Amino acid sequence: MNQQTEQYSTFSADGLMFGVAVESVQEVVRHQEMTPVPLAHYTVHGLINLRGQIITAVDLRACLGLEKRPTESQPMNVVLRVEQELTSLLVDEIGDVLNLDPGCFEEPPATLPEALKKSVVKVCKLERCLMLVIDPERLMN
């Protein structure tokens, strides 16, 4: 039985757990000094300097219509490669990289809020919670 496991990078925001295919993740970096971009879309939190490259940081909570992050908390950066560009996703906390059996994935439940339905392609039942798998392209557009 050839079970190819798929690797997912996981992180959380507003109590929800998310995962993206590990191939789209370039790196994970702690909170960086951010330069806000006036007049930009509300999901764009700002620009960061990643070893000389200027990367746009997008707030996951804002993209999914979740509640705003409490002001004291410092988000982490998940740097994703989307459409040949690097974009950083701001999340609350970083989780582990999980090796998952493709068979464990299911369709997203119908009860999922609209804002999430757009970006969540499938879900996976983990031991303690449900992991929502996100498609970065759909999330950012």
Partner 1 sequence: MDDMDEIVKEFLVESSENLDTLDQQLVSLEKDPGNKEIINTIFRIVHTIKGTCGFLGFSKLESVTHKGESLLDSLRAERLRMSGDIATALLKVADAIRTFLITIEESGNEGQHDFTDLVQTLVALNAAEVTTTQQTIPSTPVLEDVTNYELLAELTAELEAEKASAQASITQPSATKLVSNTENKTPSNEAAKATTATAIADTSLRVDVVILDKLMNLVSELVLARNQIIQYTRRQSDPELLNSSQRLNLITSELQEGVMRTRMQPIENVWNKFPRVVRDVARSCGKEVRIEMEGKETDLDKTLIEAIKDPLTHIIRNSVDHGIEKPEERVKNGKPREGVLKLKAYHEGGYVIIEIADDGAGLNTDRIRKKALEKGVITLDQAERMSEQEVHMLIFAAGFSTAEQVTNISGRGVGMDVVRSNIQKIGGVVDVSSVSGKGTLLRIKIPLTLAIVPALIISCHGQRFAIPQVSLVELVRIPHENTEQMLEAVDAALFYRLRGNLLPLVQLDKQLKLSSSSDLAGQTIVVIRSEDGLFGLVVESIHDTEEIVVKPLSKRLKDVKVFSGATIMGDGKVALILDVGAFAQYATNHHESVANLQHDQVKSMHGSESSLNMLLMSCGQGQLATPLSDVHRLENLKASELEFAGGCAMIQYRGSIMPLYNIATLLGRNSDVSQASKAESIAEHSVVVYSHNGRSVGLMVDQIIDIVDQKLNIDLTAQRQGVRGTAVLAGKVTEVIDLAQLAELTDHLSCAGANGAQI
Q: Which is nearer to partner 1, 36 or 113 (CB)?
A: 36
Report whether 15 contacts 95 (CB < 8 A).
no
The gap from C-alpha 105 to its chain's centroid, in whole angstroms, comes to 18
If one asks whether residue 54 binds partner 1 (CB under 8 A), the answer comes out as yes
Q: Which is nearer to partner 1, 17 or 55 (CB)?
A: 55
Please, what is the Cα angle at 118 between 112 and 84, to 5 degrees? 140
CA 123 → CA 20, 29, 72, 78, 106, distances in Å? 11, 25, 30, 20, 5
Smallest gap from Cβ 38 to partner 1, in A, equals: 4
What is the DSSP-derived secondary structure letter of residue 35?
A: B
If one asks whether residue 102 binds partner 1 (CB under 8 A), the answer comes out as no
Among 9, 10, 77, 87, binds partner 1 (CB under 8 A): 87
If one asks whether residue 72 binds partner 1 (CB under 8 A), the answer comes out as no
If one asks whether residue 44 binds partner 1 (CB under 8 A), the answer comes out as yes
If one asks whether residue 33 binds partner 1 (CB under 8 A), the answer comes out as yes
- What torsion, rounded to 10 degrees, do the Cα atoms 64, 65, 70, 74 define? 30
If one asks whether residue 58 binds partner 1 (CB under 8 A), the answer comes out as yes
Residues that bind partner 1 in the complex, under the rule CB under 8 A: 33, 35-41, 44, 46-49, 52-56, 58, 83, 85, 87, 140
